[in-house]
Structure 1
Amino acid sequence: MAIDYGSRSRSHVLPRALRAPVEGRMWREFGYLLLSLPISVALFCYAVAMTAAGTGLLVTFLGIPVLAASLAGCRAFGMLERARARALLGLDVAEPAPVRGEKSGLLSWVGAVLKSGASWRHLLYAVVHLPWAIGAFVLSVTFWTVGWSLFLYPLWQWVFPSHLDQPGIGINVDAAGNGFYADTPFEIAVVCVLGFLLVLLSPWLIRGLSGVDRVLVRGLLGPSLLASRVSELESDRGVVVDTAAADLRRIERDLHDGAQARLVALAMDLGLAKEKLAEDPRAAAAMVDEAHGEVKTALQELRDLARGIHPAVLTDRGLDAALSAIASRCTVPVTVQVDLPARPAAAIEGIAYFTVSELLQNVSKHSRARRATVDVWRTESRLMLQVTDDGVGGADAAAGSGLAGLTERLDAVDGVLVVDSPAGGPTTITAELPWRG
């Protein structure tokens, strides 16, 4: 085990700037830029030729299907480009919505392709990517080649002399061939240092150039912002439906296993007391007294259940009083501070209430804290909640715990949950919700 740790520590002895020229990321990005030129040439030629043919044939019936075929071919190239970006740049771009005609048949498909905004964005990518690919190819190859050539100059200066009587690399100054030749140790060292600097800078140049490709692929070959937003809303709607169904099942289970079972037992006890009333009034009175206690317990369970659905104190008095009531039931002393100029929308208020309620339950069950605080305030159009405790920490929303479900609930209303809980504490969980007052 010690050997593994040692090898890992030795692999990071060099600073990142010195490792960058030989890291896998640099070679993958450089490979992407090298491949971009031939692929972009092929894509540009195809797109221009097919689009020109389709446009020229618009006077006939053939122009429209040819133009649709050109767009479909650009979408096929887009699949290749997304796969290449995923493999070499680590960029995972979702595919745009597939083309579906309103009816089956060639004409319906042609119309759907021509009306698809994603198809035209693929065509735009085919046109604009070629000049960029040429510039990125020339810059990256020139910078990388010159840098390594100058850096390794002492290894090949005697192999390729520029003249028979003059060894070394020559830098011409005028047309007559007069120039500077690096052949002394000092001059060779200067060339090496210059090359070393270019080698160190080349990964960052390549990373910047590939960053532009990331923008082009994400912006032109992925789904539109509107389509992404619709997909996100559909996913959020599914989360809301699933959450509502889970809440209904919980309420049904609580009623069936709690108040309903208790009321059934109460009815049976009262029936037995009624039968014994004439024969043994004292036993009947004892049974009625016991049933009275069961009634109180059932009422308390119903109150707790109603509070879990939507507490009356929240409706009547707002978040300040409702959160104070939650804090009073927490096993840890909790300080509540609510600074709101007005009340938010009822739905947002309810989500905020149950968010703090679940977070304080986590504090009671898992944190081993001595105290906790709840802060609520408004920032522009957002409602901010923050629950802090001095417990052992280690909370992680990605671990599949209740925090993961809470994150999904907040996502469904454009909310955000941020968990800061290092091992050993303290834990600070911040929730952000839209105000919608």
Structure 2
Amino acid sequence: MNERSKSQGLLGGEQPPPVRLALDGDTWREIAHLLANLPMSLIGFTYVVTVLSTGGALTVTVIGVPLLAAGLLGARQLGKLERARARALLGVRVEEPTPLTLRKSGGMVQWLSMTLKDPVGWRTLLYDFVRLPWGILSFTVTFMSLFVLWPVLPLLARGLSNVDRAMVRGLLSPSDELERRIAELESDRGVVVDTAAADLRRIERDLHDGAQARLVNLAMGLGLAKEKLLEDPDSAAAMVDEAHGEVKLALQELRDLARGIHPAVLTDRGLDAALSAVATRCTVPVKVTVDLGARPAAAIEGIAYFTVSELLQNISKHSRARSASVEVWRADERLLIQVSDDGRGGAHLDGGTGMAGLAERLDAVDGLFVVDSPVGGPTTITAELPWRDRGDEGRRRR
């Protein structure tokens, strides 16, 4: 193991590298880092004061909050520069934090919210704020040692640079899985909200353009039939007969709409019966195999049902398949779904068949969505959901 690999880490149980009395390449790199501390700390401190004073003072105005958010984004770049400097001169390997990602539907409000709550930006501001006195001290001691304390310069360089290593790891490293998970959950919550809003708009559109329009026509037809009841009974009877047909169509549309929201068969009998019913509406023969033993939480069950339903619709519309299969089973604490067909293949997430939306919905509940569809087929789509018992769901609601 070389000296560079030995120099990794003061935290996490790692030991500082041994002190060297000769000025080798590692020592000169440490000296260069310490001498650069003064200009870098001056730049960082000036940036922090400017961001906080300008953004903080103007928060009472319209531009104050965006300025503060922009300052936090700039702090991320300063942190990236400092991590690169520590990596090149001190041998410190610190992972880059998770980048801020906005949803496609996100606007200025979401950008401001995510940026102002960004722990990476705030920790970088703290790092640059506290480093000014340390930058002055480390620069002064290192510079004077070059002329006065040359024999012990390796000892001083190693001790001072170890403090720098600890500060980089403590303030500029990502908060491991916690920070990453928080960012994912923030994004997933937005996906759930957007999906729910889209579903509500679809239901409203279906009601307005379907059953509602039929009921309006029905009311008008019955009104005309009432007027002709005495004058022209035959015409009135024909109009009533036509209205009866409209009632049947309206009822069927309402049943279809209710099935699209949450089918009664799923509530009453579970996934096996519900998926078998969906399979009968597919234009190709579908073999359904469900092996669960128990029913998952209603939310997970609903997501599984609508995932399979949309995939079978895609098979009917796009696959040109002769047969298909649906398999659902439980593996440990996961619910697995596999939908296959022998069609032409070539399916992918950005193919305009709604699979990107399915992937987002599953990701929002910590699920997975994998598409294996070479051109020419066959196609196999695997979905994975977390298993939650129905009893656990009830206890969470209470």
Aligned to 1:291: 243
The answer for the alignment partner of 1:317 in structure 2 is: 269
1:329 is aligned to 281
Deviation string, structure 1 residues 133-155 (Cα, Å, up to 9, x no partner): xxxxxxxxxxxxxxxxxxxxxxx
Q: Which has the higher contact order (CA 8 A, sep 6+)?
A: 2
Conservation of the 8 A alpha-carbon contact between 1:340 and 1:376: yes
Per the alignment, residue 98 of structure 2 pairs with 94
Taking a change above 3 Å as real, the CA distance of residues 119 and 289 of structure 1, as seen in their structure-2 partners, is: same
Find the residue that maps to 1:409 and give its secondary structure: helix
**Residues 80 and 96 in structure 2, CA contact (< 8 A), matched pair in contact too:** no
Q: CA deviation at 1:221?
A: 3.0
- The amino acid of 2:344's aligned partner reads V
Where has structure 1 moved over 4 Å in runs of 4 or more? 35-48, 74-77, 81-86, 115-120
After superposition, the Cα gap between the structure-2 partners of 1:41 and 1:432, relative to the gap in structure 1 and judged at 3 Å, is: farther
CA contact (8 A) 1:383 1:435 kept: yes
- Contact 1:239-1:412 within 8 A present in 2 as well: yes
Secondary structure, aligned partner of 1:375: strand
Report the alpha carbon displacement of residue 225 of structure 1 after superposing the two structures with TM. Answer: 2.3
Equivalent residue for 1:78? 79
Alignment-mate amino acid for residue 416 of structure 1: L
Question: Are 1:390 and 1:427, in contact at CA under 8 Å, matched by a contact in 2?
Answer: yes
Distance 2:26 2:183 in 1: 31
- Matched AA of 1:385: I
Deviation at 1:348, TM superposition (A): 0.2
The Cα offsets for residues 335-371 of structure 1, whole Å up to 9 and x where unpaired, read as 0000002000000000000000000001001110000
- Taking the aligned partners of 1:394 and 1:96, their CA distance within structure 2 comes to 32
Q: Does 1:415 align with 2:371?
A: no
Structure 1 residues 259 and 220: CA distance shift in structure 2, 3 A: same
Structure 1 length as normaliser, TM-score?
0.55
Change (3 A) 1:314 1:96: closer
Question: Cα distance, 1:93 vs. partner?
Answer: 4.4
1:395 counterpart (328, 333, 347)? 347
What is the correspondence of 1:321-360 to structure 2 with a 5 Å cutoff?
Answer: 321-360=273-312
For residue 362 of structure 1, what is the aligned residue in structure 2?
314
Classify the secondary structure of the residue corresponding to 1:323: helix
CA deviation profile, 1:224-283 (whole Å, cap 9, x unmatched)? 421221121111111000000000000000000000000000000000000000111111
Please say if residues 274 and 284 of structure 1, whose CA atoms lie closer than 8 Å, have aligned partners that are also in contact: yes
Report if aligned partners of 1:393, 1:422 keep a CA contact under 8 Å in 2.
yes
| Structure (1 or 2) with the larger CA radius of gyration | 1
In structure 1, C-alpha distance between the alignment counterparts of 2:320 and 2:99, rounded to whole Å:
46
The alpha carbon displacement at 1:431 in A equals 0.1
- Which residue, 178, 189, 198 being the options, matches 1:226? 178
Rate the CA distance shift 1:289–1:40 in 2: closer, same or farther, 3 A: farther
The CA RMSD measured in Å over matched residues stands at 3.9
Larger mean Cα displacement after TM superposition, 349-358 or 278-287: 278-287
Give CA deviations for 1:171-213 in whole Å, capped at 9, x if unaligned: xxxxxxxxxxxxxxxxxxxxxxxxxxxxxxxxxxxxxxxxxxx
Distance change >3 Å, CA 294–CA 82, structure 1 → 2 = farther
- CA offsets 1:87-119 (integer angstroms, 9 cap, x no match): xx9x8643699xxxxxxxxxxxxxx99x95996
Hey, what's the Cα distance between the residues in 1 that align with 2:100 and 2:258? 45
Q: Distance in 2 between matches of 1:383 and 1:232?
A: 21
SS at match of 1:428: strand
> Aligned AA for 1:94?
T
Q: Distance in 2 between matches of 1:368 and 1:339?
A: 28
- C-alpha displacement of 1:76: 7.1
Uncovered stretches (5+) of structure 2, i.e. residues with no partner: 1-24, 42-74, 88-92, 102-118, 135-167, 390-398
- Partner SS, residue 430 of structure 1: strand
Q: What amino acid sits opposite 2:80 in the alignment?
A: M
CA shift at 1:41, angstroms? 4.8
Q: How far does residue 84 in structure 1 lie from its aligned partner after superposition?
A: 8.1
Classify the secondary structure of the residue corresponding to 1:279.
coil
- Where does 1:28-39 land on structure 2 (aligned, <5 Å)? none
CA distance in structure 2 between the partners assigned to 1:37 and 1:432 by the alignment? 52
Alpha carbons of structure 1 residues 94 and 274: separation in structure 2 relative to 1, 3 Å? same
Q: What are the residue-to-residue correspondences of 1:17-416 with 2, within 5 Å?
A: 41-43=31-33, 78-81=79-82, 93-94=97-98, 116=123, 221-416=173-368
SS in structure 2 at match of 1:253 = helix
Aligned 8 A contact 2:373 2:380 in 1: yes
Task: Verify the 8 A CA contact 2:123 2:172 in the aligned structure 1.
Answer: no
| TM-score computed with the length of structure 2 as normaliser | 0.60
Give the Cα–Cα distance (whole angstroms) in 1 for the partners of residues 181 and 264 of structure 2: 35
In the TM superposition, residue 401 of structure 1 has moved relative to its aligned partner by: 3.8
After TM superposition, give the deviation of residue 408 of structure 1 in Å. Answer: 0.4
Question: For residues 323 and 263 of structure 1, what CA distance do their matches in structure 2 show?
Answer: 31
SS of 1:424's equivalent? coil
User: Could you tell me how far apart the structure 1 residues matched to 2:80 and 2:124 are?
Assistant: 16
Structure 1 residues 278 and 77: CA distance shift in structure 2, 3 A: closer
Q: Which residue of 2 aligns with 1:152?
A: none
Query: Per the alignment, in what secondary structure is the counterpart of residue 283 of structure 2?
Result: coil
* Structure 1 unaligned spans of 5+: 1-34, 52-73, 98-111, 127-215
Q: In structure 1, what is the Cα distance between the partners aligned to 2:250 and 2:223?
A: 18
